[in-house]
Amino acid sequence: MGIRRRARETAMQALYYIDFRNGTHPHLADFLESVPVAAKAKDYFETLLNGVLAAGPQVDAVIERFSNNWRVNRMSRVDRNVLRIALYEMLCRDDVPVKVIINEAVEIGKKYGGEESGSFINGILDAVHNAHKKGAIETPALTASDDAFLTDETADPKAQQSTASDQEPARRSISVAPGVRRRQVKGTISNEGERNDPS
C-alpha cells in the first residue's frame, strides 16, 4: 500500500471519528490510540485532515450539488468523508492527478463502505471533475480553524523532549493553495512545497 493511500484511509477514519462525535474536533490523541498513523504517511494525513476541515462547508456544498438530491448528512459516513478528501485533493491541490484521486477514492469506498459506495463516489467525482474543467466550480477558500486537530499533541512523549529549535508549533501545516502548504511558525507564515508523490 502506498504512503498516500495510507494517509487517505487514516484521514477518512479520522473524519468518520469526528462525525461519530457529532462534529466535535478533539485532539488526535484519542483517535490515534486506536488508529495509529504510519510515520511516513503522517505529513500527508495531517495535510488532508486539516485541509478538509478548512474547506468544510464549501466542499459539502459541492457534494450536494452533484449528488442528485442527496444531502451530505444523509449519506453514509464513509461515503461523505471519502468524497470530502477526494474533492479537497481535486479542487484545492495540483500535485495529484485526477485519475489517481478518483481511483483511490473508489477503492477506499469499496473497502470501507457499502456495495454501492464505489459507483456512488465515482459518479459524483466524475461529474465534479467535468464541471471543474469547464470552470463551473470555484476553488474553495481554505482558512485555518481553531477547531482543527492539533496534531503535535499526539507525538511520542520522548520526541517532545527535543530541543526548542527542533520543536514545531502547536498548529501543524494546512494546505491553502494547490500543491503548497502554509505553516504557522512563531507568528509568521511561510510556504513550503510538497513532495510530488501522487500515489
Q: What does the block give as the cell for 28?
A: 488526535
- Give the residue from 166, 170, 168, 167 showing the smallest Cα distance to 149: 170
Of the chain, the percentage scoring pLDDT greater than 90 comes to 52
Per-residue confidence at 144, pLDDT binned at 50, 70, 90?
A: low
pTM of the prediction? 0.72
At residue 167, the pLDDT reads: 38
Q: What is the pLDDT of residues 117-132, one digit of tens each?
A: 999 999 999 999 999 9
Angstrom distance (rounded) from CA 61 to CA 49: 18
Q: What does the block give as the cell for 83?
A: 468524497
Angstrom distance (rounded) from CA 62 to CA 66: 6
1-199 topology per CATH: N-utilizing Substance Protein B Homolog; Chain A (1.10.940)
Q: Which residue has the higher pLDDT, 44 or 32?
A: 44
Angstrom distance (rounded) from CA 125 to CA 84: 10
What are the extents of the domains in the chain?
1-199
